């Protein structure tokens, strides 16, 4: 497993103090991966039969992404045998 590590330089670049950045980083990594996998699989099922994604919010965001024929992968931080069959050997959380 490879993982980045929070640095003072990254925190400075993001404009936040290092202690906050450090806590935020590790709290994002220390999660329930089974739960994340279930959520990612649900989204994957929704997207598989979709041609586009339309994202809006009350602040004015209005974004449409055309999916076309691209495959939909579940990038949940866990490499499964199905991921390996599809050639996905490096995943993100």
Strand-pairing partners, residue 52, are 66
What gap in Å lies between CA 80 and CA 57, rounded to an integer?
Answer: 34
Does residue 92 have a pLDDT over 70? no
72 — pLDDT class (breaks 50, 70, 90) = confident
Between strands 62-66 and 52-56, the pairing is antiparallel
Assessment of whether the complete model's pTM goes beyond 0.85: no
E strand intervals along 1-93: 52-56, 62-66
For range 59-83, the mean pLDDT:
86
Q: To the nearest whole number, what is the mean pLDDT of the chain? A: 87
Using only the alpha carbons of the chain, give its radius of gyration. 17
How many of the other CB atoms lie within 10 Å of CB of 76?
Answer: 22
pLDDT at 84: 80
13 — pLDDT class (breaks 50, 70, 90) = very high
State whether residue 58 is helix, strand or coil: coil
Q: Is 36 exposed, middle or buried (0-12, 13-18, 19+ CB in 10 A)?
A: middle
Does residue 1 have a pLDDT over 90? no
């Amino acid at each position: 497993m490879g993982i980045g590590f929070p640095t003072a330089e990254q925190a400075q670049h993001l404009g936040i103090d290092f202690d906050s950045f450090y806590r935020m980083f590790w709290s994002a990594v220390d999660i329930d991966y089974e739960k994340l996998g279930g959520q990612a699989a649900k989204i994957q099922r929704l997207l598989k039969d979709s041609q586009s994604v339309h994202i809006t919010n009350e602040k004015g965001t209005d974004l449409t992404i055309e999916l076309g024929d691209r495959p939909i992968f579940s990038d949940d931080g866990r490499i499964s045998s199905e991921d390996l069959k599809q050639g996905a050997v490096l995943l993100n959380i």
